[in-house]
């Protein structure tokens, strides 16, 4: 249910931003403005706006597909606090995925970013942790293989630059997703560690 609310809310806010450039500018992740004017909310608000319909559709499709799986995962780890933990995870993933870019571009007036890709990357990698050998429909590879390739590609494209895509946020969102879930299991459900290890060791031939 939380995932559906996030999808609808993001769709509404993104649509408003499509039609109102001034509104969009107030929500953008703009490191210089954050640093100079203290508008820290932009770390979160930027995850609820998108550049166009294609950008919005891709992120919301991933959020819908993996978010609902994550909700069940969080309910199991955190019990009655599962919904709250899931919301904290999603919002913090938006912010944490952008943190390296903030330090890199906080003196660059020309840099701005938007989109939920950091959070959706975190969701995908949370799924990969529990189902490493499940096959993705696209690309048709096991989840863990996709994860490794995704990290390598994001790192390479971030260093290469020039395509106006926040590959840095994709990379750190994915890393944050793994770190958050592993730490949560350590603190609240350590019995899951053998399950994760067993799933990993089974390989693609299970």
Mean pLDDT of 184-193: 93
* Residue 139 backbone class (left: φ over 0; alpha: ψ -120 to 50; beta: rest): beta
- The encoded tokens of residue 201 equal 């060791």
Predicted TM-score (pTM) of the model is 0.92
- The encoded tokens of residue 31 equal 């490191």
Residue 11 in this model has a pLDDT that exceeds 70: yes
Q: H/E element holding 22?
A: helix 21-27
Predicted confidence band of residue 205 (pLDDT cuts 50, 70, 90): low
Q: What is the CATH number of the domain that holds 83?
A: 1.20.1540.10
Q: Please give the Cα distance from 108 to 31 (Å, whole number).
A: 8
Give pLDDT tens digits for 19-71. Answer: 999 999 999 999 999 999 999 999 999 999 998 999 899 899 999 999 999 99
Mean pLDDT of 109-125: 92
Predicted confidence band of residue 162 (pLDDT cuts 50, 70, 90): low
Q: Check residue 206 and give its pLDDT.
A: 57
Q: What is the DSSP letter of 137?
A: S
Q: In the chain, how many domains are there? A: 1
φ/ψ of residue 166, rounded to 5: -80, 70
Give pLDDT tens digits for 167-179. Answer: 788 899 999 999 9
Is the sign of the CA dihedral 169, 171, 177, 179 positive or negative? negative
Is the sign of the CA dihedral 138, 83, 85, 186 positive or negative? negative
Range of the domain at 9: 2-205
């Amino acid at each position: 249910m939380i995932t559906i609310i996030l999808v609808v809310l993001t769709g509404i806010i993104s649509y408003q931003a499509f039609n109102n450039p001034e509104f969009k500018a107030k929500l953008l992740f703009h490191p210089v403005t954050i640093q100079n004017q203290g508008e820290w909310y932009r770390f979160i608000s930027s995850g609820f706006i998108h550049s166009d319909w294609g950008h919005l559709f891709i992120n919301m499709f991933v959020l819908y597909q993996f978010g609902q799986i994550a909700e069940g995962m969080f309910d199991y780890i955190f019990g009655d606090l599962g919904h709250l933990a899931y919301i904290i995870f999603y919002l913090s993933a938006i912010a944490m995925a952008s943190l390296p870019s903030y330090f890199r571009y906080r003196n660059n007036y020309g840099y701005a970013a938007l989109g939920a890709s950091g959070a959706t990357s975190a969701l995908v990698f949370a799924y990969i942790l529990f189902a490493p050998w499940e096959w993705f429909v696209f690309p048709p590879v096991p989840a863990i293989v996709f994860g490794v390739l995704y990290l390598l590609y994001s790192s390479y494209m971030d260093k290469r630059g020039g395509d106006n895509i926040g590959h840095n946020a994709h990379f750190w969102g994915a890393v944050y997703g793994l770190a958050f879930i592993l730490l949560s299991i350590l603190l609240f459900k350590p019995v899951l560690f053998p399950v994760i290890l067993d799933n990993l060791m089974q390989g693609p031939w299970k």
